[in-house]
Amino acid sequence: MREDLETPVPGPGERYLEADDIEALALGAWILGTGGGGSPYLNLLNMRQLYAQGHRVLLKDPLTLPDDALVAVLSSQGAPLVGQERLSDPRVATRPIRIMEDYLGRRFDAVMSVEIGGGNGIHSLMVAAVTGLPAIDADAMGRAYPEAQMTSFAVADLKCYPLSMADIRDNEVIIKTAASWKWMERTSRKICTEFGSLATTCKAPRTGAEVKAHGVLHTTTKAIALGRAVHGARRAHADPVAAILDQCQGKRVFTGKFTDIERRTTEGFLRGRAVLEGLDDDRGEQFILDFQNEYSVGYRHGQPVVMTPDLICVVDSISGDGIGTESIRFGQRVTVLALPAPEVFLSPRGLEYVGPRAFGFDFDYTSYFGEQ
């Protein structure tokens, strides 16, 4: 933990996050996680404790980064179901940064999340709080994806190595090089599985220029605004689901309740299929969701109607809370939403990395928003 808890005056494009920003971020990130990224709850508890101890997080606009700044791209890797049982720890989250700094012989200037979705949207903030490094208002997905190559940095063909990993048992690994992004995913996934299907990581370091050119920018601010919109709807006794759609320019896909769930943890992923029975305007209908950590495809009448890279967000129909693939329960009343994907993933190369075929499906992407 930091011994010096002084909070310097923010510079241009910087601001300190308040406690209520963190609360809103946890809610917004869980919705944007499309069922994955791990529940933000345990990370939120850590942030509440860190703020009570006097720690603060400085959020920095990526456009103010010097081109030669060195940015640590952080995540918790593994199966979300395991994350429910193994408590998150800021010290374990910080270790991959120190491993990478020792390897590079240089200190980082800032940290960022590899994905804004789920618990990983807060993961980097824990590290920022205990190290004093600024957190960059950006990520590399604009949501959550299950594999290392499913990032805007991979789409841009940036270098995928080195990568550092740590677990709760003091195991530490550096992957110095890899033949490709997919090989980095395969190698790190095997290590993660041996670690018990959960590890903290520092991905390939990025320069300020790379973050500005190829990151998905201002996603922390987006998640905070989304969380605030849902909180506001609850206070006003309005519809939180409608608030999500308004805030994110999304569309309602299906309303129903879960009636069947098949779920298995394999090769470091949570894979499965869930079945919903329609309610309200969808009464008498059935909807099926496939997932690999995150929801990947939704079917109606046996046909895929919504699919990655569009964000498939399943939320509680009353509260607007995100429903993770590891927390699906029989009888839950939910609404399935589609939110627009970041533009970088709608390009031909982007679809190669995150479209339906990247998940093993035998069909091409069709946007729920009438674009392709």
Contact between 258 and 335 under an 8 Å Cβ cutoff? The reply is no
Average pLDDT over residues 289-307: 95
At residue 338 the predicted structure's pLDDT band, cuts being 50, 70 and 90, is very high
Only one residue has tokens 């942030």, namely 47
pLDDT of residue 268 exceeding 70, the answer is no
In CATH, the number for domain 14-220 is 3.40.1610.10
pLDDT of residue 372 exceeding 50, the answer is no
pLDDT reported for residue 19? 97
pLDDT of residue 273 exceeding 70, the answer is yes
pLDDT reported for residue 82? 63
Pairing of strands 206-207, 14-16: unpaired
pLDDT of residue 209 exceeding 90, the answer is yes
pLDDT reported for residue 309? 97
pLDDT reported for residue 5? 62
Q: Using a pLDDT cut of 70, give the percent of the chain over it.
A: 95
Average pLDDT over the chain, rounded to whole? 93
Please tell me which residue, 80 or 330, carries the higher pLDDT value: 330
Q: Among 1-5, 138-142, 302-306, 319-323, whose mean pLDDT is lowest?
A: 1-5
pLDDT reported for residue 27? 98
Average pLDDT over residues 124-148: 96
Domain layout of the chain by residue ranges? 14-220, 240-359
pLDDT reported for residue 11? 86
At residue 41 the predicted structure's pLDDT band, cuts being 50, 70 and 90, is very high
Distances (CA, A) of 63 to 69, 139, 151, 209, 346: 12, 13, 19, 9, 23
Asked whether this chain's domains 14-220 and 240-359 adopt the same fold, the reply is no
Average pLDDT over residues 170-177: 96
Instruction: Name the β-bridge partners of 322.
Output: 315
pLDDT, one tens digit per residue, over 65-123 is 999 999 999 999 876 666 667 777 899 999 999 999 999 999 999 999 999 999 999 99
Q: Using a pLDDT cut of 90, give the percent of the chain over it.
A: 84
Contact between 188 and 114 under an 8 Å Cβ cutoff? The reply is no
- Residue 53: Cβ within 10 Å count: 12
pLDDT of residue 182 exceeding 60, the answer is yes
Answer yes or no: pTM beyond 0.85: yes
pLDDT of residue 48 exceeding 50, the answer is yes
pLDDT reported for residue 8? 77
pLDDT reported for residue 84? 65
pLDDT reported for residue 78? 77
CATH topology of domain 240-359: CV3147-like (2.40.390)
At residue 371 the predicted structure's pLDDT band, cuts being 50, 70 and 90, is very low
pLDDT, one tens digit per residue, over 141-169 is 999 998 889 999 999 999 999 999 999 99
